[in-house]
Every structure is written in structure tokens, then in C-alpha cells.
Amino acid sequence: MSTSSDVSSKDSLSSSTPVSPAVFKKIGLVGRLGSDRAIYTIKRLMRFLDSCGLTVVLEADTASALPGHEHGEFSAAELGSKCDLVIVVGGDGSLLGAGREVSNHGVPLLGVNRGRLGFLTDIAPDEIEQKVADVLAGHYVSEERFLLSMEVRREGEAIAGGDALNDVVVHPGKFIRMIEFELYIDDQFVYGQRSDGIIISTPTGSTAYALSAGGPIMHPKLDAIELVPLNPHTLSSRPILLNGNVEIRLVVGSHNTAYPHVTCDGQTHVVTQPGDEVFIKKKSTAMTLIHPTDHNFYETCRRKLGWASHLVE
């Protein structure tokens, strides 16, 4: 975690031990734009938090959908330095975006699900008052989720970069063509590959795109990175699990007819050229994610992925 302005508060949030509600004095709200349900839930949250005597501020884009709200506004990048807690109303994509912005400040995030699957945003809309009140009273568990840092270098010079909470994906862009690249792990050559690309995923991202591509589900507490090939030309190419502290380097092949694209969480977008190098490693600062005390990762998998419940009653 990065150093925060209140070291004692940061230390208390990095464990699952309940902390004093005094830690959460200023609450930032981020909402899914274009969703009437999310806007309704944000208004409901604002009323509840105001009734608790807390200071509420809004992410600037979210505030634009709430004219006349009479609360402070900050950019997403500023929320991390202005708030003690950020509550995200929307889907996992909304929380991913907020997490990338505030992770440098060590501010915890709490998710209210107004999306679809909701692996990260795990409070249901009809539980808002009860669950948020529990969190404010110090009844919650927290965990750290690491991010990936990506950098593209051309002739040794950095030309672009980005962070990812879910995954970094190398793909052919809008054209369906195989791309060629070489993979190195800690400067050791692994293989050359022709495929539709590759997914480099965190444990958080293992239930997202990587899962759809045939990768394994990783428990969020694992310190590991997974590599999942996208439709490799060689059928023996399979997903690989790596230690979370490795450095991954991809070298774009010189014979590509398409220029491979690199995306971070489907947002940051870089177009590479033959010979470019893509470096991926764990980011030095993590994101703190808060859950209700009854949060259970396996129960979430059962519910979201349709796993069978008990076979014997």
C-alpha cells in the first residue's frame, strides 16, 4: 500500500479487524453513468449518509447526473486524497475504474451492485442501509487486491503505460488476425507464440475475461499471475500460473501483418509496432476492498457462476 496521510488509519484498514467508525468521516460516491437504477441508489445513499452526519462528496462525472445535489465534487483522481472511504454504485467495471484511480492513496472501496455479475460490488441495493451502517460501525472485512503495471517500450524508450486491476490483454485489435510475439519471464525465454493474443490476469481478473478464455479461477488472496493464451496456433499451449512477483516481457514479432493492441482492464489502449516490448509486473501499491462480514468468495462463485448447491439435503 502507498503511504497515506494517516498512517495509523491505513494500518488498521489493511487487516480484517473492525476499526473505529471515526476513520470514515468523508465518503466519496462514484456511480455508473447512464443507469437510472444506479442514480436512484446514489440518491438513496446520499440521504442515508447525510442522516449519519457524514461528509459526502461526489465524483465529478457522477455529480453531473445529479443537478442541484449540494455536495462537494472532485475528479476521480482526487477522491483518493480527499476521502476516507469510496463507495461505488454500479458493476465491477465501475469499481475497476475507481480502484485504479484511488489505489495510490490506500483509500478503501466498498461496492454496491447495480451491474450484472458483481464479483467486486457485492452489496445488494435493498441492503444498502443495513450493510453500509455495519461498515460505518466497523463491522466489515477488508482485503488487498494487487494491480498490474504495464509499460510499452520502443527502442528502449517508454512510450505508453497503464494499470490494471483485472488484466492486461494483448490482441490484434479490430481485425481478426493472428499475431506473433515472444514471451519472457524474469528475462528467461519461455516461448514464441502465434495466437489471437494473450491475457495476463490478476486473481481479481481470473473470474473475468481470463475465465471466458479457459483460465482457472484464482482465490483473491493468492499472490499469483496467470497467463491465458487466446486461441493459440499450437494446441499444447495452455494457461500458466506464475509467482506474483515476476516481471513479464512480451516482444512483438517482426512479421505481424496487424499491429497488436494492448489494453488494461479494457480501458487504457496502446497500439504497438514490430519490435516493441511490453513489460508487465505487479504494481507497488494495492487496492483495499471492503466486504460485509458475511462475504464468502465461494458462495459468490456458486451464486454468480451457477455452481450446484448441496446435493444432499
Q: Write out pLDDT tens, residues 154-166.
A: 999 999 999 999 9
Asked if 221 and 171 sit in the same domain, the reply is yes
Residue 310 lies in a domain: no
pLDDT at 9: 36
Asked if 297 and 259 sit in the same domain, the reply is no
For residue 208, say whether it is annotated as part of any ligand binding site.
yes
Asked if 27 and 118 sit in the same domain, the reply is yes
Average pLDDT estimate for 137-154: 95
Residue 311 lies in a domain: no
**What CA–CA distance (Å, rounded) separates 117 from 76?**
24
Q: Looking at per-residue confidence, does 6 or 260 come out higher?
A: 260
The beta strands (E) that lie in 48-139 are given as 55-59, 72-74, 85-90, 109-113
Asked if 127 and 45 sit in the same domain, the reply is yes
For residue 92, say whether it is annotated as part of any ligand binding site.
yes
- What does pLDDT average to over the chain? 88
Asked if 159 and 118 sit in the same domain, the reply is no
Asked if 274 and 153 sit in the same domain, the reply is yes
Residues with catalytic annotation? 92
Model pLDDT for residues 156-215, shown as the tens digit of each residue: 999 999 999 999 999 998 777 899 999 999 999 999 999 999 999 999 999 999 999 999
CATH number, domain at 233?
Answer: 2.60.200.30
Q: Looking at the predicted structure, is the pLDDT value of residue 32 above 50?
A: yes
Asked if 155 and 108 sit in the same domain, the reply is no
Grid coordinates in use for 291? 466486504
Least confident of 111-120, 144-153, 224-233, 262-271: 111-120
For residue 263, say whether it is annotated as part of any ligand binding site.
no
Residue 167 lies in a domain: yes
Q: Looking at the predicted structure, is the pLDDT value of residue 229 above 70?
A: yes
Our count of domains for the chain comes to 2
Residue 77 lies in a domain: yes
The range of the structural domain enclosing residue 297 comes to 7-140+292-305
Asked if 228 and 258 sit in the same domain, the reply is yes
Residue 65 lies in a domain: yes
Residue 2 lies in a domain: no
pLDDT tier at 21, thresholds 50, 70, 90: very low
Asked if 85 and 126 sit in the same domain, the reply is yes
Asked if 278 and 300 sit in the same domain, the reply is no
CATH number, domain at 34?
Answer: 3.40.50.10330
For residue 6, say whether it is annotated as part of any ligand binding site.
no
For residue 207, say whether it is annotated as part of any ligand binding site.
yes
Asked if 197 and 275 sit in the same domain, the reply is yes
Residue 94 lies in a domain: yes
Q: Looking at the predicted structure, is the pLDDT value of residue 5 above 70?
A: no
For residue 194, say whether it is annotated as part of any ligand binding site.
yes
Asked if 210 and 186 sit in the same domain, the reply is yes
Residue 82 lies in a domain: yes
